[in-house]
């Protein structure tokens, strides 16, 4: 009996397949013209004749952090200039493993985007390789330097922004215990750590900072347990520089806040303004966020390229002075007097009076 039913099911599936197949081909007919229009290398659009695309690292485009802010920058640029998502406009490809970077970058280059961005230091080698092979392509890399005439490199002085985050944390901490949750122990993240520790020290050298590296950028569960341990040990403010793993830090803080509205737990976000991440009902656990304006950097390169001045072969470094890093609006979480002190430090760093080290001493 059951066999017969299965047989019936089988034939239904087969039948459905053929019908769906038919639908599919109809679909294709309608989409094809649009498509071919798009693939025309210099598509004639009513908007600007410029296109750009990016490749994410394994974190994905919705990592609420690094990749996302890059994509938001691209989206904003595209809208501003009347571009559409897709060929001839703006687009992104997501990577699922290290081996995918080259393919993804290559695919975008082949689709004739004017500028292709590799987001993150992991793209260094792939960008280098493609730059050598596709000499006409205009490539850009964030967080790493690739020495090639057709690659624009963007670096950030994460340590400067993190210094301010450290100042804010040190001044706001009641327990005088602060936490730092890092992703992988790589130079970029170490700059975050170094700046942050320096900032704390500048305010109060006696404050203990618990530094933990999770080794991963995409493990929210791990971030949550790490945060749990920190908060339980008396830490009241955690600064995370761990991409998706950091989402777990927010989750833990919000959980504690939900259970006890008076709980003194704060998170300092990273890369983009993570205020939304910290919302618990009417309150919020986000103290502030260390902004790394990847979006701005991406847009700046795009603007230059559109104007015919693609900054190939150069490295632009964004620090406090260039307003490439900084703290996000705290929405009242940080009182004015503290903000004033932060502003003072900002000035000193921008003026070069304080030089924040890149590595932990």
Partner 1 sequence: MSNRVVNILVPVISVILGLLVGAIVMLVSGYDPILGYTALWNGIFGDAYAIGETIRQITPYLLAGLSVAFAFRTGLFNIGVEGQLLVGWFAASYVGIAFDLPMYIHLPFAIIAAALAGAAWAFIPGLLKAKLQVHEVIVTIMMNYIALHTTNALIKVVSDGGDNTGTINASASLKSAFFESITDYSRLHYGIFIALAMVLLMWFILEKTTTGYELKSVGFNKHASEYAGMNVNKNIILSMVIAGAFAGLAGAMEALGTFQYANVKGGFTGIGFDGIAVALLGANTPLGVIFGAVLFGSLKYGALNMPNEAGIPVEIVSIVIAIIIFFVACGYVIRYFLEKANKKKEAK
> Which two structure tokens, joined as six digits, stand for 307?
């104007």
Which x/- pattern, by CB under 8 A, does the window 23-62 give for partner 1? xxx-xx--x--------------------------x-x--
Pick the piece of the chain touching partner 1 (CB under 8 A) from 105-113, 225-233, 268-276, 327-335: 105-113
For partner 1, the binding residue among 184, 202, 207, 316 (CB under 8 A) is 184
For partner 1, the binding residue among 118, 183, 278, 324 (CB under 8 A) is 183
Query: Using CB atoms within 10 A of its CB, is residue 185 exposed (0-12), middle (13-18) or buried (19+)?
Result: exposed
Specify the residue, 17 or 335, whose C-beta has the smaller distance to partner 1. Answer: 17
Q: Is 64 in the site for partner 1 (CB under 8 A)?
A: no
Count of positions on this chain that bind partner 1 (CB under 8 A): 49
Pick the piece of the chain touching partner 1 (CB under 8 A) from 74-82, 102-110, 162-170, 172-180: 102-110
CA-based R_g, the chain, Å? 24
> Which two structure tokens, joined as six digits, stand for 141?
């890399």
Q: Is 8 in the site for partner 1 (CB under 8 A)?
A: no
List the beta bridge partners of residue 153. Answer: 141, 315
Smallest separation (angstroms) from partner 1 to the CB of 91: 9
CB neighbours of 107 closer than 8 A, spacing ≥ 6? 93
Pick the piece of the chain touching partner 1 (CB under 8 A) from 42-50, 69-77, 95-103, 192-200: 95-103
How far, in Å, CA of 150 to CA of 290, rounded? Answer: 30
Q: What is the DSSP string of 245-312?
A: HHHHHHHHHHHHHHH-TT---EEEEEES--GGGGEETTEE-EEEEEEE-HHHHHHHHHHHHHTT---T
Name the nearest CA neighbour of 169 among 284, 278, 360, 330. 330
Q: Is 351 in the site for partner 1 (CB under 8 A)?
A: no
Site for partner 1 in 132-171 (CB under 8 A): 133-134
User: Where on the chain is the footprint of partner 1 (CB under 8 A)?
Assistant: 3, 6-7, 10, 13-14, 16-17, 20-21, 23-25, 27-28, 31, 58, 60, 86, 93-94, 96-100, 102-104, 106-108, 111, 121-122, 124-125, 133-134, 183-187, 215-219
């Amino acid at each position: 009996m059951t066999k017969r039913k299965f047989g019936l099911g089988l034939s239904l599936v087969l039948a459905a397949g053929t019908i769906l197949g038919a639908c599919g081909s109809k679909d294709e007919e309608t989409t094809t013209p649009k498509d071919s229009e798009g693939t025309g290398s210099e598509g004639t659009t009513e908007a600007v004749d410029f296109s750009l695309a990016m490749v994410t690292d394994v974190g994905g485009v919705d990592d609420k952090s690094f990749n996302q802010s890059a994509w938001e920058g691209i989206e904003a640029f595209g809208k501003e200039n009347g571009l559409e998502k897709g060929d001839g406009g703006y687009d992104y490809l997501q990577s699922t493993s290290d081996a995918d970077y080259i393919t993804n970058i290559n695919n975008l280059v082949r689709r004739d985007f004017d500028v292709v961005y590799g987001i993150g230091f992991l793209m260094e080698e792939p960008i280098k390789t493609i730059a050598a092979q596709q000499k006409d392509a205009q490539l850009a890399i964030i967080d790493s330097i690739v020495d090639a005439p057709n690659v624009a490199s963007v670096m950030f002085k994460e340590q400067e922004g993190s210094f301010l985050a450290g100042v804010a944390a040190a001044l706001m901490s009641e327990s005088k215990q602060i936490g730092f949750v890092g992703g992988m122990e790589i130079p970029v993240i170490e700059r975050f750590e170094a700046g942050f520790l320096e900032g704390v020290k500048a305010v109060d050298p006696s404050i203990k900072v618990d530094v933990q590296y999770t080794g991963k950028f995409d493990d929210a569960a791990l971030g949550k347990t790490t945060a749990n341990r920190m908060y339980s040990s008396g830490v009241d403010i955690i600064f995370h520089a761990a991409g998706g793993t950091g989402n777990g830090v927010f989750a833990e803080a919000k959980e504690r806040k939900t259970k006890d509205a008076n709980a003194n737990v704060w998170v300092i976000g990273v890369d983009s303004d993570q205020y939304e991440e910290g919302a618990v009902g009417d309150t919020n656990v986000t103290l502030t966020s260390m902004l790394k304006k990847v979006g701005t950097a991406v847009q700046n390169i795009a603007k230059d390229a559109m104007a015919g001045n693609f900054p190939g072969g150069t490295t632009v470094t964004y620090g406090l002075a260039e307003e490439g890093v900084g703290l996000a609006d705290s929405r009242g979480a940080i009182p004015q007097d503290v903000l004033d002190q932060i502003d003072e430090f900002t000035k000193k760093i921008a003026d070069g009076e304080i030089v924040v080290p890149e590595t932990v001493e």
